[in-house]
Every structure is written in C-alpha cells, then in structure tokens.
Structure 1
Amino acid sequence: MNTPSAQPALLIAGHGTRDEGGAAAFRDFVAELGARNPQLPVAGGFIELSPPPLGDAVTELVERGVKRFAAVPLMLVSAGHAKGDIPAALTREKERHPGISYTYGRPLGPHPALLKVLERRVDEVLGDTDRSEVTVLLVGRGSTDPDANAEVYKASRLFWEGRGYAGVETAFVSLAAPDVPSGLDRCVKLGAGRIVVLPYFLFTGILPDRVRQQTGKWAAAHPELDVRSAEVIGAAEELLDLVMERYREAVKGDLRMNCDSCVYRIALPGFEDKVGLPQQPHFHPDDDGHHHHPHHGGHAHSH
C-alpha cells in the first residue's frame, strides 16, 4: 500500500459557475473524494467564476507537503478549458511552486458508467412509461470546438444503443446548434409524442437551469405533447469512481487524448485557420458574468 508521500496527490479542476448551488456541489464532491481516500491528498479548484481558484488548490496541496500530483478535469468533454485553460494554469502553478510536477488526466465522458447514471435520471421522470414510446433529447453545454460538440453527439448515440428508446437526439444550450427549441422541434418532426429532456451536465448551474426554462417554455406552447425534464448527473457513486479511474490513468501515464479530430491539429472544414495556432482564453456569451482571470494567457496547444 502506498504511503501518502509516495502517492501523487489528486487535483480536481472544475469549470466554475455563478450558481452558488453548483459551486457548492463541486466543493462537496471534492470533499467526498478526500473522505473516501484518506491516504490521498485531494484538493479542487475552478478555472473561473467560483472560489476557490485552481491556483489556491495547488497551493493547498503544496502546503501539505505535496510535490507530485495528478490533475483530473471534472468535465464531460474536451473543449477549450480541458485542452487549453487548465494546462496553462498548471504551467503557471509549476512556475510559482518550483519543484512540483504533475500529470494531466483526460475528461470524463462519454463513459459507460455515466451513461448508466443518465439512464437512471431518465427513469426517474418516466415512471412506468414504456421506453419505446419515449424520445430523449440530450442537451450539452455547446462549444466553438467541433470536436467537443461531436463528443456530445457520441454520448447521445451510445446512450441510444441497447436501451430501447424510440430515439435519442442532441441539442446544445450555448454556442452551438441546434439549440433546445430546435432540438425539440426535430423530435416532433421525427414523430415523438413523449420527450424527456436530459441535461448532459455534472452539476446544477446557470446553463442547466436555462435548459429547464427553455424546455418549460417550449412545452407550454405544445400542450398536446408529454415533455419532461430530467436532472443533471450529480454526485453519483459512478462519478466518484470514474474520477478515481481517471486519476489512476494519469498516474500510470495512460493518457489517451482525442487528437484525431482536434481542431488545433487537424484541418477540419471551416476551422482550417486554427491549426497550429496558440490557444487564447475564450468567452462564453451565454454564461452570465463569464470571464477569465487575467493570468490565463495564450499558449501553444499540445497533448
């Protein structure tokens, strides 16, 4: 059994939200991971919007005597934060704390364990309704990165396989099409009479709330349809286990980044100008109050 000094610590990197409930859920999740792994130093912080900042979490680990850690992004897809902002922040922390070293893990989804949780979230609102009569609309955050959006579509397809739903469609709440109303319209055009809108988010926050609000508004305009809203993934047992799986991968060096369709490495149609460019911090217009801390500078993209 490894002693704490021989085992790299675990650093959880979150996106951040203006929603205090969502931020508290992240902090509680990090605390639960620490409680479940008392031999392992665990800390967590946010890239933006919420305390504590990621830098404070690194400082906390250093003050506990940590020299090595594995950083796991608590994110479902590999978009700008996972590909750029977190590595930039970690590079900065390495300069601030000479002598530390780290490995960087991969995002969480789509993973069978999380698909199982999503299935449970749908079942919670279905009751005894036959799945073959239900179309699910999986709604992701949305990104300007086509690879990240494609990962959400991959999750939808994997969620459809073998579960007996009439269909699983995909939409986004920010930055990418189709939006939630368009996704619901598509479900109807495909013959759906019963629809469950399933937010592809880990915790509550402004954007999952917006998904629910947009769903409610659309449903009110279509009273002839049965439209229900499922809950976010939340701090499920499967999520806790998956983070530890990603931690062990990072410690072993078993890193499988999705480079084959990365917009910064491959010339994808319409995005050819991004190949080889340094990444800059980006702006989410649909995240209320969204901003980046000044220390997140541009940097060369690499895996």
Structure 2
Amino acid sequence: MSTPDDTTSDPDDTTSAPATAFDDEAVLLVGHGSRREKSNEQVRELAAALESRLGVPVDAAFLELAEPSIDEAFSHLETVVSRVTVVHCSLFAASHVKNDVPLAIEQARASYDLEIDNGSHLGIHPAILDLLDDRAAAVEAELGVDRERDDVVAVLCGRGSSDPDANGDVHKLARLLYEGRSFDRVEAAFVGITEPTLEAALHDLSKHRPDAVVVLPYMLGDGVLTQRVRDWTAEFDAEYPYVDALAGDPLGTDSRLLDVFADRWQEARTGSVEMSCDTCKYKVDLEGYEEDVGGARAMLRALAHQAEHADREDVGDEPHVHDAPEKHVAVCTNQTCAGSGAATVLERLRQEVRDAEDCDVHISRSSCLGQCGEGPMVAVYPDGIWYGGVTSADTERIVSSHIERDRIVSDLVQQTL
C-alpha cells in the first residue's frame, strides 16, 4: 500500500486528485499463508489488483506461515488511516473465519485506534462458478474431450474441514456447477479431515467408466494441497488407463475474484454481512457437534493455536510445527474482569508457572468469556474448566493442583464444558 504524500497541496492547483469518501480508509486482505512463497505472492497480487479496482489502499496479511501477520498489518495501517475493512481470502466459513480472524480483530481493536469492519468469506458466488467452469473447460481441451459429446465427470476437491457448514457448501457449489451444464455428473471430494476423500471419490467414479474425469482443486493459491490433488489425480490416471483424468489449476489470481472481493468489501463496510447461522455448529445443535455450541471451545482452540505459533517463532523454529502445550489457560481481561483484578491474576498465574517444575502450560489473555459479574474468569483448556471469582490468592492452588496434578479446584469452578 502506498503511503499518503506528506507534502502540503496548493489549494489553487486544479490538477490535484479530488478527495473521496475513501481517503481515510484501507482494506486488509487476509490470506491463510503457505510454505510456498508462490502461493503467498498470489495473495499479494490479488491485493494490488483489488486496490486498483476499488481505488482504496489494500494491504495483504496472513494468519500464519507468511508475513506480515494480521497484527503487524494493523500496526502499520494505524499510522495512515482510521478505518480498515477486513476482506477474507478464505473460501468457506470454518474456524479461521469464525474464530481466528475475529479474535485477531478484537485484539487489534483493543490495541489500535482503528475502526475495523469484518467481512465474510468468499463463499458461493456466480463469478466463482464461471471461473470453475472455465477451469474445467481448460482441462477438457487438454484431454481432447467435449462434455457435449463425451461422458465427462467433474470432481470439485476442497481442503476439508471439521466444520460441517463449510463442507456442506462444497457440496452445494458442486451441485450448482452441475446445474445447467453438460457434465455427466459433478461430485464433491476433499483432501482430508472429512469424507469422501479425493482418492476414494476417484476410485468410485472409475466404476462408471466415464470418458474423462476433470478434477478441480478448490483452493485459492498454488500451494502444497493443490500439488497433492495433482499427484493423486495423476496416480489415478495411471492406475485406470481406460479413464483420462487430469487436475486443473486453482482459482489463482483470476480477475473474476475481484468481483467477489468487491462485494464482500461493500457488505462489510455497510454492515450487511450475512453468515449461515442456521447451520453453524457454534450456534445450533447439530448431530455430532453438540459440544461446540457456544463457541467457547473454538475460542480457546484459537488462542492456543495463536500462542503456539508465537512460541515457535520466538525460539526460531518453523512456525507451523505444532508441539502444543499440555494445557492452555485463558484469563478474561475484558472490562468487567479487568476491574475485578484480572491483570493481577494473570501475572500471578504466570509467576506461579515460572516457579513450578516441569509445567507445560501457556497462559494468555482472552476477550470476554460471557460471564460478566462472575470474574475474574480463568478457563483451563483442554479440560473445559472455567473458574470464576478468581483472586490472586487462588492462583497458587490453580497451578499446583489443577495444572500440575490434574486436581480440579472445585470451590472455584464456575462451569464446565
């Protein structure tokens, strides 16, 4: 992002660009981050293209594995603008969109003098369907097949998530890609975490003996997972010589993505963001995901994930190696708890842990835990124990009994998850 010119303009100079409503506003395009710099560079290219499209400064930031981090980006933006709109590169609404980025935004709101609007994920959009159709057509041309005369099957391969809402959207997108087009069928598959996996889906399709299978990696960048999709498709092609199979390119930096980003930016800055709350496992009871309702576990996972990356980077290790601590303790430092002495409790817990022998725990601040008036609140994860009304005198018992010996301090328990 270009910084504003600090020189004083001449009021009589009619060649100067007129002021706009966006002069004090910027956009932060948030990508996941990849070990492959090519993938990270694609996010930066999209940010530059979106800046030209919107006429608003656009910076790129990453959740992990690449720089700058979200916090570093906000720190820079505070020096040049007063309002920032966050636009996500995430394809679907899973934990990064629902937990990790919102947590980073709340921390930024507390740390920086910025008005921050949070947008939604890319989601299902007509421009993306058109782009996927073109990606499929490119593979068909390379294979020498025509879906109008040949039996061509498309497989839309997503990353896979522990969030059923996100996985369901992959299936919806696959169905929309099928509607109105001449594919023999369009199937959804995943790299991992959930089923069907791409390998299983391809083997099942071989029984139908199509002329060709077009695999569409539903990923933004050309990273590790995209290469895995290509490798699995090539293995399938070699194993089943009577079916031609080839994987296409990811979404990349196609200009049609700018249509989606522009819509998400406008929604965010006008307060019209819509999320699929009716099928969100953090808001409603879904079979098999009952313990996730309320989002508390997800919030603690996000804190632990964030802290683990910080710890690894502090000692110079590769940042995505997850040697998570045995326990994570989150202390609510929101306004009510802070007024009840949360800061002192936080520091005393850290001191007790430093004094303890062989204590594998990470202690961090958290935003509101929704128990105002019952604090200071201390949550111990993964045990799911929330202590309420904790004083500095209680910190020694929490560490010596619960953290070191797994003995819950029952008289302090506010609730269990």
Superposed, 1:285-300 pairs within 5 Å as 289=320
Q: Which amino acid aligns with 1:15?
A: H
Does residue 49 in structure 1 map to residue 71 in structure 2? no
Deviation at 1:41, TM superposition (A): 2.1
Does residue 25 in structure 1 map to residue 39 in structure 2? no
Does residue 15 in structure 1 map to residue 32 in structure 2? yes
Q: Which of residues 92, 97, 114 is equivalent to 2:107?
A: 92
8 Å contact kept, 1:41–1:61: no
Which whole-Å deviations, capped at 9, do the CAs of 1:81-113 have from their partners, x for residues lacking one?
Answer: 00000000111111221x311111111121110
Aligned partner of 2:22 in structure 1 is 4
Aligned partner of 2:214 in structure 1 is 196
Please give the alpha-carbon distance, in whole angstroms, between the structure 2 residues aligned to 1:260 and 1:215. Answer: 35
Superposed, 1:85-234 pairs within 5 Å as 85-97=100-112, 99-127=113-141, 129-132=145-148, 133-234=151-252
Kindly, what percent of the aligned residue pairs are identical? 34
Superposed, 1:60-75 pairs within 5 Å as 60-64=76-80, 66-75=81-90
Distance 1:248 1:290, change over 3 A: farther
Question: Which structure ranks higher in relative contact order (CA pairs < 8 Å, sequence separation ≥ 6)?
Answer: 1
* Secondary structure of 2:221's aligned partner: coil
| Structure 2 residue runs without a partner (length 5+) | 1-18, 306-318, 325-361, 371-417
Q: Which amino acid aligns with 2:180?
A: G
8 Å contact kept, 2:119–2:265: yes
Q: Which amino acid aligns with 2:276?
A: N
Please give the alpha-carbon distance, in whole angstroms, between the structure 1 residues aligned to 2:203 and 2:369. Answer: 38
Please give the alpha-carbon distance, in whole angstroms, between the structure 2 residues aligned to 1:190 and 1:110. Answer: 29
Deviation at 1:297, TM superposition (A): 7.2
Please give the alpha-carbon distance, in whole angstroms, between the structure 1 residues aligned to 2:111 and 2:89. Answer: 23
* Secondary structure of 1:45's aligned partner: strand
What TM-score do you get using the length of structure 1 for normalisation?
0.90
Aligned residues: 294
Which whole-Å deviations, capped at 9, do the CAs of 1:141-182 have from their partners, x for residues lacking one?
Answer: 101111111111111011111011000001111211111110
Q: Which amino acid aligns with 1:124?
A: A
Please give the alpha-carbon distance, in whole angstroms, between the structure 2 residues aligned to 1:296 and 1:85. Answer: 15
8 Å contact kept, 1:88–1:296: no
Distance 1:298 1:95, change over 3 A: closer
Superposed, 1:238-249 pairs within 5 Å as 238-249=256-267
Distance 1:277 1:233, change over 3 A: closer
Please give the alpha-carbon distance, in whole angstroms, between the structure 1 residues aligned to 2:136 and 2:239. Answer: 22
Does residue 59 in structure 1 map to residue 59 in structure 2? no
Distance 1:96 1:298, change over 3 A: closer
Distance 1:276 1:126, change over 3 A: same
Q: Which amino acid aligns with 1:85?
A: D
Question: Which segment is superposed worse, 107-116 or 188-197?
Answer: 188-197
Which whole-Å deviations, capped at 9, do the CAs of 1:98-144 have from their partners, x for residues lacking one?
Answer: x3111111111211101100111111111252215100010001011
Root-mean-square deviation (CA, aligned residues, Å) is 2.5
Distance 1:176 1:298, change over 3 A: farther
| Structure 1 residue runs without a partner (length 5+) | none
8 Å contact kept, 1:169–1:187: no
Deviation at 1:235, TM superposition (A): 0.9
Question: Which segment is superposed worse, 187-196 or 288-297?
Answer: 288-297
What TM-score do you get using the length of structure 2 for normalisation?
0.66
